[in-house]
Structure formats: C-alpha cells, structure tokens
Chains A and B, each alone.
Chain A
Amino acid sequence: MKEINYDKDVFGLSDQQDEGGDKWVFKDLFRSKQKYVTIRQREVPDSSLHEPSKKEVPDGLWVKCDQCNQMIYHKDLVKNIKVCPKCQFHFRIGAWERINYLVDPGSFQELFATVTSDDPLKFPAYQEKLAKSKKATELEEGVVTGVGNIGGVSLALGVMDFGFIGGSMGSAIGEKLVRLFEYAAEHGLSVVTFSASGGARMYEGILSLMQMATTCQALNRLAEQALLYISVLTDPTTGGVFASFASQGDIVVAEPGALIGFAGARVIKQTTRQTLPAGFQKSEFLLEHGMIDLIINRKELRNTLARLLRYHQRRKRVINQ
C-alpha cells in the first residue's frame, strides 16, 4: 500500500487545479503538512478483497469484478483504491485502507482506540463473533476514529469497517463516534464520517438501539457551534446507522452503487409483497429521491471533500470599508 503515491498515481493531482478557478494547487497543500507526526500508521490487511471468495482465482493474483465480471489484476485494483478500472464498480474497502488514501500522508492521529466492545447482555455467540472479527480485520472495533488533514484542512474523521460484524453499531462504536463529535465540538473541527454498516448490533440488544440516540444528540453539539458535518455513505449503510448519524450530515455524500436504506429488501418484500424496482436503495435511487446531496466516485472523493471542507473553514470576518 505504502509505495503508491495516491496524489500522482491515483488522483493525478500534482498538476491539477481546482475547477473553481482558485489558483491553489493540491500538491502545495499536501506538501505543507509533512511536519505532522504519525501516531499510528500501519500496513492494511487486505481482508476486504477476500470477501467475494467465489469469484476469486485461487492464487489471489486476479480478482473478478462483481459487476462487469472482468478479471482485474489484484495490484491494479489496489492501486485504483478498489475501484474496477473497467466499469468503476466500487469494491468494499477496509477502514485503514480508506484512511490511508484519504488523509494527507502522515497527518492521521488515531483517537479513542482503547474503547472496545463488552458483552453487556452475555449474548449467545457474541464473544466468538468479536474474536473472529478482530482476527479477520485486525481491528479492535468496527470504527476507526481520529484527527487528520484532507487537502491541508484539519478535521475529525470516523471510518467504519463493514468487515467487523457487518459494521454493526454497538456501545463501543457509539461511544467512539460520540467522543469524536464531542472532541470536534471542543476543538472547532469539521467532522467527516464514512459509514459502512448493516445497522444496530443485535448482540448488545437495546443498548445498541440507544447508540442511535447518543450519536444523534452529540451531532446537535456540532450544530450548536455551526461546525460542518459531512456524512459519506458507502456500501452498505442501512438500518440503525442510516437512521441515525449517517443520514444527518449537513452534506450527505454517497459512493456510487452503494446500498443505502432503512429496511432490508427481504423484509420489505415479506411485509408488503411489493416488487422492488431495479436499483432500489442504491445511491443513484437516493439521489433521485432527494435523500442525498452528491454521488462521488472514490477516486474523486478526496478532492471533493477537500473542496467542501475549504468552503467551511473558519475565517476572520472581513469588514467592508
């Protein structure tokens, strides 16, 4: 992962100007922040690549795209931040992979990493689930929280990982996000979250449901101080996560083709016997129905986030004379 220069190889940013016509150049912004100390930066396990195992070629060198069925050279896919070079299908991506391509190199500092899941209800199979997820993802919990810079603008960042019990939100994820929002409110930072979750974590029962309330009310603290909150919805964002903080961004962005919704298609069919249209609950469907602001290709995301963040940077008031 580390040998890739995302600026140059992926974004082609080094000689690109902002469309808005401001004369600033991305490489200058990124370069100016090298002095940050990396508290935690590490190699990313490539677990998410192994999810569509049935389509995978045994030696792992080639991956078949879920959408266009084309064979993609593994290294090319990684280089392309898990976007199919042929059809732009967005593969799921792990939390650290995302952070590494997203933030200015060396700028990310993880926070609240010590908060992990308990088993408050002594729920059947929960401990095993946790152990298995920790091993598979090399994460301690389903969200990574911290501070960093994107395009030179500092922000608080929360990135969920679907590989960790389906990104389900229990007490620990709720607590980490709430601390992140409170931290941002205290330090006057913008917040960006990346959601990837099937919803509330059943294994913590009602306490998981309550995380919808705690995360939402902490967002109110940001709003009180007019701090920006951008929610990026990735595949999938459903149930209690979509029905809480993830849908409440000042600006709600989605990756293309992500599954986003409240109820699952199976439950809807069972309850209503309705036939669901093609593309139901996909990003494009939500955009059409006015539920999100933007759909942004993963390769453009950093650029777009940087621009959005810059719009909301605090400046000194200029008094007209």
Chain B
Amino acid sequence: MSNVSNYNLDFEKPLKELEKRIEEIRLFAEEKQIDMSEEIRRMEEKARSLKLEIFKNLTPWQKVQIARHPKRPTFLEYIELIFHGFIELHGDRLYRDDPALVGGLAYLEDIPVTIIGQQKGRDTKENIFRNFGMPHPEGYRKAIRLMKQAEKFGRPVITFVDVAGAFPGKEAEERGQGEAVAKAIMEMAGLKTPIIVVITGEGGSGGALAVGVGDRVLMLENAYYSVITPEGCASILWKDASKAEQAAEVLRLTAEDLVELQVVDEIIPEPLGGAHTAYEEMAANIKGSLLKNLYPLINDDLNTVLSMRYQKFRQLGRYLEE
C-alpha cells in the first residue's frame, strides 16, 4: 500500500511540488508565529489554477495514466457508495468462481438491479487474488449467468467496465476465452431487460466489450476504451512500445472521442484531479447519471428498447459505399 499511496502522475509533479511548498510555509509560519496568510492564500490560488490548467487539458496518454491509477476507485468501492443491500452471487456453475469479475444483486435507490463488473485489486495481495481484474472465461460465463437471471426476473443490468483485457493465458485459452467473450456479447445484445454500461477505468478491447453491450454506454471523463492498448498499438505501428503516447493520440480512445464516434452516449464528469481524489463525489456523479438514464429505459416498452439497442450498435461502422 505504501507504494500505492505515494504514486504520483508525472504531469502532476509541478502541482504536487507547489502543494508541498505551501504546506512547508504553513508549518514554518506556525512554528515562527509569523502571519503569512496572504502569501499562503496567493500560493493556494496559484495551485488551484495550475490544477485546473493541468486537468482541463489532459492529453489522451495522461488520461490513460489516470484510468490506470492504482488508487482509482474499483467496482467494490462504487458498489458501497452507489448501491445498497448488495448480495454477491458467485460462480459460473461450470468450472469455478472468478474473483476478477464480481456480480450480484443490489438496489439503486429503490430499484432492484443486477450489477456486474471487473474487480481490480487494491493492493498487491488482492491484485494477485483477483488476477489484476482480468477475467478468465469463467468470469464472463458468470456474467452471462447473472444476466440471464436478471432477464428472468425482469431486473435491469448495470455493468461497470474496468479491465486491461480478458486474461491471456494457457488455461484461459483451453477453457475458451474467445468463445466466452463472444457468447457474452451475443447474450447482452439480445438480453430482454435494460442494460446500462459504465466504463469507469480501462476499457480493454474484447475483455471490456464482453460486458459492454447496452442500451446506454456511459463513460467516466478520464476512462479510456480501445481496441488495443496504446503500448500494443505502438509496437505494431512503430515497433516501439515506448511510443505509447503517440499511439494514444491516434487511437481516439478518450471519452470525448468516443462520444464523437457515437460509441459512448454520455460522459460522467470526474472530480478535478481524477476519480481517485474524491471517491464520494465520483460515486455521486455516477449514481446521478445511472438514475437519469435508467428511469426512461424501465418505463419504455421492452421491444422498443431491444430494437433501439440493435440499431445503436448496427450503425457504428464507418465505411464507403459506391
């Protein structure tokens, strides 16, 4: 944990240094009994505008770094802050319970919902237990099971997406990772109950899309969603993974880009400084957006919802036609 709490983003350094100096001056003034409040006030003002300047002009690569921040709130924190009465349901009934993907029943205000999301670890030990939030096929098959259950009992489904990618491993392949991802996509596309998707952190390719098909796709301001990691893209394009920064630019993976491409419906604003700096504020923003989007869906005719879901994804390609 100590490493994690000291984790700083490169581009935050000037701000962090300024904040540290303010703190030093404050201590100095207290110790020497000198009134430096005017000085401190001016410096705080400067820090505020510096913070604004940094966080309102983030580059795609900086956003990727925020999305991967080890202190970024995880699904379990969001469950605590957004829902109540959560009961976790385990297992895919086929092989085992995958701790990288959490699911269960919860209330959003007074609405019973099924919630599903990838779960990263909050320290090294938990990360090992949860496989860094990268599900095996059994994780996606658990998701499918819970979604079908939600359909049966007429509960809306809300998914939280935060995954570097579906796990690439020998056992994952043996148990059919590709098939599990595809099946989850197919089931979500046809699921006869409303689905809202929230991309909270990393939207890592197929592993994200496997819980990412819905009637509304919402995305946190600094989350990213991409067909390939910037590092992977850079090593293919320029044979150099260290050019990830440039790759992040060309992939169009930020929330703003994705709204423009109509892949995402709505951006959920983050607290200045990123979701990790104010969990409650972040959770409140998500909750507000969920409620706003869920009410029309549950009041709408289900067949209309389903045909609109089909159309929503049907028109996402950009191609030429003579």
- List residues of chain A with CB under 8 Å of any chain B CB: 114-118, 120-121, 123-125, 170-172, 174-175, 178, 200, 202, 204-214, 216-220, 238-240, 242-248, 261-264, 267-268, 271-272, 274, 276-277, 280-281, 289-291
Contacts and interface: CB of A to CB of B under 8 A. Distances in A.
A121 B186 contact: no
B182 A207 contact: no
Interface string B189-225: 1100000000000000110011011000000000001
A243 B206 contact: yes
B182 A214 contact: no
Given A206-B225, A289-B174, A175 B319 contact: yes
Contact of B182 (A206, A243, A261): A243
A267 B167 CA distance: 10
Enumerate the 10 nearest inter-chain pairs by beta-carbon distance, A residue then B residue, closest first: A171-B317, A263-B168, A217-B189, A120-B318, A262-B178, A262-B177, A242-B178, A243-B178, A210-B316, A172-B319
Interface stretch (B104-112, B115-123, B250-258): B250-258
B135 to A, nearest CB: 12
Contacts of B1: none
A208 B181 CA distance: 16
Given A206-B263, A213-B189, A118 B183 contact: no
Nearest to A271: B168
A213 B173 contact: no
Interface string B242-278: 0000000011110001100101000000000000000
Nearest to A240: B206
B177 A243 contact: yes
B316 A240 contact: no
Contacts of A217: 185-186, 189-190, 213, 309-310, 313-314
A178 B314 contact: yes
Given A243-B182, A272-B169, A214 B317 contact: yes
Contacts of B309: 217
A213 B313 contact: yes
A124 to B, nearest CB: 6
A265 to B, nearest CB: 9
Contact of A261 (B173, B185, B190): B173
A262 B186 contact: no
A3 B243 CA distance: 52
A212 B263 CA distance: 13
A235 B176 CA distance: 17
A276 B316 CA distance: 37
A123 B250 contact: yes
B258 to A, nearest CB: 6
A135 B220 CA distance: 42
Contacts of A247: 176, 178-179, 182-183
Contacts of A218: 314
Contacts, number: 186
5 contacts: A171-B316, A212-B206, A213-B209, A213-B313, A217-B310
Contacts of A274: 169-170
B35 interface: no
Given A172-B319, A268-B168, A263 B186 contact: no
Given A171-B319, A261-B178, A274-B170, A216 B185 contact: yes
Given A116-B320, A121-B252, A174-B317, 12 more contacts: A125-B237, A200-B205, A213-B209, A213-B213, A220-B189, A240-B205, A243-B182, A247-B176, A263-B172, A267-B168, A271-B169, A291-B176
B250 A121 contact: yes
Nearest to B137: A262
A277 B309 CA distance: 42
Nearest to B228: A202
Contacts of B174: 289
Contact of B253 (A204, A205, A262): A205
Give the one of A240, A262, A263, A272 with max B CB within 10 A: A262
B236 interface: yes
A175 B252 CA distance: 21
A290 B179 CA distance: 11
A272 B252 contact: no
Contacts of A200: 205-206, 227-228
Contacts of A263: 166, 168-169, 172-173, 177
A280 B174 CA distance: 9
A220 B176 CA distance: 20
A244 B185 contact: yes
Given A178-B314, A200-B227, A213-B209, A220 B186 contact: yes
B209 A209 contact: yes
B317 A206 contact: no
A118 B319 CA distance: 5
B183 to A, nearest CB: 7
Contacts of B209: 209-210, 212-213
Contacts of A280: 170, 173
B322 interface: yes
A214 B251 contact: no
A200 B318 CA distance: 14
A77 to B, nearest CB: 31
Contacts of A240: 205-206, 227
Contacts of B213: 213, 217
Contacts of A281: 173
A36 B203 CA distance: 48
Contacts of A272: 168-170
B251 A262 contact: no
Nearest to A119: B318
A124 B227 CA distance: 16
A264 B178 CA distance: 12
A292 B107 CA distance: 40
A206 B253 contact: yes
Contact of A115 (B181, B236, B314, B321): B321
